[in-house]
Amino acid sequence: MTDLLEVRGVSKRFGGLLAVADVSFTLHEGEILGLIGPNGAGKTTLFNVVNGVYKSDGGTITFQGKDITGRSPDQVVHLGLARTHQIVRPLSGMTVIENVIVGACFGREYQSMREARATALEVLERVGLASRADTSARSLTLAAKKRLEVARALAARPKLLLLDEVLAGLNPTEIDLMITLVRSIRDSGISVFMIEHVMQAIMNLSDRIVVLNLGRKIAEAPPAEVVQNADVVEAYLGFPDIVDKLRGAQPQ
Amino acid sequence: MILRRPLLWAILLLAALFAWLPLRANNVALREDLILVAVAIILTSNLNLMIGYTGYVNFGHIVFYGLGGYVGLYLATVRGWHLVLAALVAGVAVSLLAFLFGIGILRLRGAYFALATIGVLVAVQAFVSNFEPWGRSTGMYVSFDAYAPLGGPRHALWTTYFLIITVMALSLILSLAIKSSKFGLGLFAIREDEDAAIVLGVNATVHKAIIYSVSAFLPAVAGALMFFKNGMIDPSIAFEYMLSLEGIVMLMLGGSGTVAGSALGAGLYERLRSYLLTSPRLSEFHLVIAGALLLLVMRLAPGGLIGWLYRLVPRSREVVE
Amino acid sequence: MSGILASMIDGVLIGSVYGLAAMGLSLIWGVMDVINLTHGSMIALGMFGMYLLFTAITGSSAYFLLIPVIAAGLVLGIIVYWLSVSWVIGRPILTSLLSTFAVNMMVIGIGTAIWSTSPYNVNFSLPGITVGAYTFTGNHIAAAVSAVVIALLLELFLYRTRAGKAIRAVSDNRDAAELMGISSTRVLMIAFAIGIALAASSGALVSTLFPFTILSGAGYQLKSFVVTVLAGLGKPFGALVAGVLLGLLEGAVSPFIAVSWIPLIEFGLFVLVLIVFPRGIFGRATA
């Protein structure tokens, strides 16, 4: 099993606050790696460092054997690493299909407009937005906007997809649909690194989970072990309902 | 396929009309009116590339026109180059300079960039006012024999007219071509959400620098042609801040982001301005009316006239680009 | 005392007026995230306001006339707010830039129609102070003192009055302020009006220093932008200090360089500061 993404000793400081402190982990090709932790643990910050939105204050990030530390987000996409945002960022003035075409045009394959259009149609079909291709992105529901985020990222033909709380704000039906989508993405050969708070979902989806607390990694293991991990339970001790979910969410 | 787009034919038709109407009647007054409209269209459609397509407001757009005028006039008169060559070199020189300036100021976002463009205008004007080879604040004149290679002054006026019409058509066609290109898509993504665009793989810095530089080229060529035709240039007429502002009014009036809008807004406003400036009572209020017009457009119809058309007749969006 | 030192001290005096002008811009920018492009024309109106009052009310000290100018500035600010700002809050930057810009054009247009572009003067002089071979113009000193007094009054207002605290609350976090019952619309309107009044008062002071035209505001607007980015947003007193620094710089440089180069240097400084210090020297994160 090859290592697709290797993060070694990464830190990120904002003024006096150390948001991410000396975090190291590995993501294997073909796996779904979950990222959990209480609020403020530094999960989105870590994502932002990996995909180049923030420059790390130390440490290295290696993707497919190449050092990508300090590269800008647009460079990182061209190498095959795409991401979605926690708070969706559709290109509002453009249509759904135009949004996805942007992803295809400027993604790993630098597709031409014509190729991009074909890719976009295919991807929209996959995420279930094909019927809304020509509607303006602004008019979509939240669930649809989240699927648009995923579609845009997929259109870039990534090897690794970073999903930031893609289930947040969705109702149970929508969550199920999204879970199915994430599984199918992995099955099609794209590795997934996902931040989630919906414990049930992430325990079921992930092959392994990385747990952050106050900027530090406190666990990196399959879900069954993470759930038993004393440090993890303690980190969530202020949130008894999550602890219950952790205890109750034994993976099937 | 660009040939299938109705607007391309509309542009060619417009250019043909502009060329034919004054020529047929040998009507010099009409030609002089139309050349001002053509210049307005050139400036507005290139400004549209920055404001409408990329979402970056350029308050100092006129600097390209004025600087092109200086370079072109200098090369054509002092150096004795042929007008067309001088104009093209002026275009290239000004776009290169724009690229260099752009790399610097395009790191600034939104409002800061807008303010910096005023600074560019002020800076260039200050520099030119102190630049000896270009006549400092007195500027330069074109002596009559400079028109000789073009067949004398009368002939030269017609030649420059047709050249300006060509530049006008090229400006509009360029806007159209960019709009449906991959590069243009990158610009629109930047306009919608620059940070999201970068995460999607758009190299915003390069895109912005290129479009800023491209938006300078044809206005600079037009400047070279116009100031040569007018026979003189000096820092105050070359870098009239007012013309920059009017460019913005024209674009917002017609419909920012659309090719037809830039032409429509330029044409309408230019007629309005000519009327105001020649009317004895209203000429003083030219600036007030321009400002009021801009405020009304921003408040009531931010998409301009073409935006309003799109709302009335949604199908028109495909044809009237 | 050397000539350069005298020039620098004079620069500090005039710089405090730049600072006053910039305070208006910075306040509005910091509180409601709007870049007020009417700033220059409001400064110009302040100049003419002082001129009109001064010629109408003979025998008065120009400095007392600051009070009606400030009052008029507040009223004007409310009008401009409703015309071009109230409906752009929260909208894209482009909208607020263009709407305030449109009002700027209208004001300059009306001003040009009334007063043309001829230079005007407020003929009021205070006796100067002579130190050695150099005399510091009384007007310059009085202008600096007035600027500092107004700045102190503003600080008092912002930190000691309910309205001022409301403004600071809205500036920090508008949603939280609303949850606490502060009417943000009214607060924004008041903050904007104060910003305009500050601009007008700086114009009024400038009118006592130099001849002016309706177009003179533009130069001070550029200086205000430079000062505001130097100081960072939302720190009015920082703007005063940065203004003084700018004046000092001008004073140090002007004996050597022709006046027409100064806007160029200011532009260069503006861009440089934005690229190197995006947060300004004193202030918080910019928009």
Structure confidence by residue, pLDDT tens digits, A94-143: 999 999 999 999 999 999 999 999 999 999 999 999 999 999 999 999 99
The confidence score (pLDDT) of residue C286 equals: 37
Domain boundary among A115, A142, A157: A157
Indicate if A57 and A153 belong to the same structural domain: no
What's the CA dihedral at C96, C99, C101, C104 to 10 degrees? -130
Distance from CA of B91 to the nearest CA of C (A): 24
The confidence score (pLDDT) of residue B188 equals: 96
Which of C87, C103, C264 is closest, CB to CB, to B122? C264
- φ and ψ of C38, to 5 deg: -90, -5
Give residue-wise pLDDT tens across range A168-211.
989 999 999 999 999 999 999 999 999 998 888 898 899 999 99
Q: Test A106 with B186 for CB contact under 8 angstroms.
A: yes
Domain that holds residue A238: 3-80+158-248
Which of A74, A85, A92 is closest, CB to CB, to B198? A74
Question: What are the respective helix, strand and coil percentages of chain A, to the nearest 5?
Answer: 40, 25, 35
Classify each residue of B217-255 as buried b or exposed e, where b means 16 or more C-beta atoms within 10 Å of its C-beta. bbbbbbbbbbbbbebbbbbeebbbbebbbbbbbbbbbbb
Residue numbers in chain B where pLDDT is lower than 50: none
Q: Test A113 with B195 for CB contact under 8 angstroms.
A: no
Indicate if A188 and A173 belong to the same structural domain: yes
The confidence score (pLDDT) of residue A227 equals: 84
Mean pLDDT of A206-220: 93
Q: How far apart are the C-alpha atoms of B57 and B45, rounded to whole Å?
A: 13
Residue of chain B nearest A99, judged by CA positions? B189
Percent of chain A past pLDDT 70, that is, above it, reads 93
In the predicted structure, residue C278 carries a pLDDT above the cut 70: no
Give residue-wise pLDDT tens across range B20-48.
999 888 888 899 999 999 999 999 999 99
In the predicted structure, residue C281 carries a pLDDT above the cut 60: no
Indicate if A60 and A182 belong to the same structural domain: yes
Give residue-wise pLDDT tens across range A131-153.
999 999 999 999 999 999 999 99
Domain boundary among A100, A131, A157: A157
Angle formed by the axes of helices C184-207 and C162-172, to 10°?
A: 110
Instruction: Kindly list the residues from chain B whose CB atom is less than 8 angstroms away from the CB atom of residue A104.
Output: none
Give residue-wise pLDDT tens across range C178-218.
788 787 888 899 999 999 999 999 999 999 899 999 888 88
The confidence score (pLDDT) of residue C285 equals: 41
In the predicted structure, residue A238 carries a pLDDT above the cut 70: no
Question: DSSP alpha helices (H): ranges in chain C?
Answer: 3-32, 39-56, 66-80, 93-115, 138-160, 162-172, 174-179, 184-207, 217-231, 236-253, 262-276
For residue C60, count other CB atoms closer than 10 A to its CB.
12
Any A CB within 8 A of B172 CB: no
In the predicted structure, residue C274 carries a pLDDT above the cut 80: no
In the predicted structure, residue C93 carries a pLDDT above the cut 80: no
CATH code for the domain of B58: 1.10.3470
Residue of chain B nearest A150, judged by CA positions? B200
Domain at C3-276, CATH from 1.10.3470, 1.10.10, 2.130.10, 3.30.70: 1.10.3470
Instruction: Kindly list the residues from chain B whose CB atom is less than 8 angstroms away from the CB atom of residue A113.
Output: 180-182, 185
In the predicted structure, residue C284 carries a pLDDT above the cut 50: no
Domain that holds residue B295: 2-319
Contact status, residue C228 vs residue C31, Cβ threshold 8 Å: no
The confidence score (pLDDT) of residue A246 equals: 65
Q: Test B201 with A53 for CB contact under 8 angstroms.
A: no
In the predicted structure, residue A244 carries a pLDDT above the cut 80: no
Classify each residue of B31-45 as buried b or exposed e, where b means 16 or more C-beta atoms within 10 Å of its C-beta. beebbbbbbbbbbbb
Interface of C with B in 118-177 (CB under 8 A): none
Chains B, C in contact, 3 or more Cβ pairs below 8 Å: yes
Residue of chain A nearest B206, judged by CA positions? A74
Q: To the nearest whole number, what is the mean pLDDT of chain A?
A: 90
Indicate if A54 and A7 belong to the same structural domain: yes
Domain boundary among A157, A181, A198: A157
Distance from CA of B10 to the nearest CA of A (A): 25
Q: Test A77 with B201 for CB contact under 8 angstroms.
A: yes
The confidence score (pLDDT) of residue A252 equals: 45
Mean pLDDT of C227-236: 79
For residue A27, count other CB atoms closer than 10 A to its CB.
23
Instruction: Kindly list the residues from chain C whose CB atom is less than 8 angstroms away from the CB atom of residue B129.
Output: 260
Indicate if A101 and A224 belong to the same structural domain: no
Q: Test B105 with C287 for CB contact under 8 angstroms.
A: no
Q: How far apart are the C-alpha atoms of C131 and C119, rounded to whole Å?
A: 31
Instruction: Kindly list the residues from chain A whose CB atom is less than 8 angstroms away from the CB atom of residue B195.
Output: 53, 89
The confidence score (pLDDT) of residue A189 equals: 93
Indicate if A174 and A147 belong to the same structural domain: no
Any A CB within 8 A of B197 CB: yes
CATH code for the domain of A47: 3.40.50.300
Residue of chain C nearest B248, judged by CA positions? C98
DSSP states of A2-49:
-EEEEEEEEEEEETTEEEEEEEEEEEETT-EEEEE-STTSSHHHHHHH
Higher pLDDT, A211 or A39: A211
Indicate if A231 and A174 belong to the same structural domain: yes
Indicate if A147 and A220 belong to the same structural domain: no
Which of B191, B197, B201 is closest, CB to CB, to A78? B201
Q: How far apart are the C-alpha atoms of B291 and C108, rounded to whole Å?
A: 9
The structure's pTM equals 0.88
How many domains would you assign to chain A?
2
Any B CB within 8 A of C272 CB: no
Structure tokens at A68: 């990508």
How many domains would you assign to chain B?
1
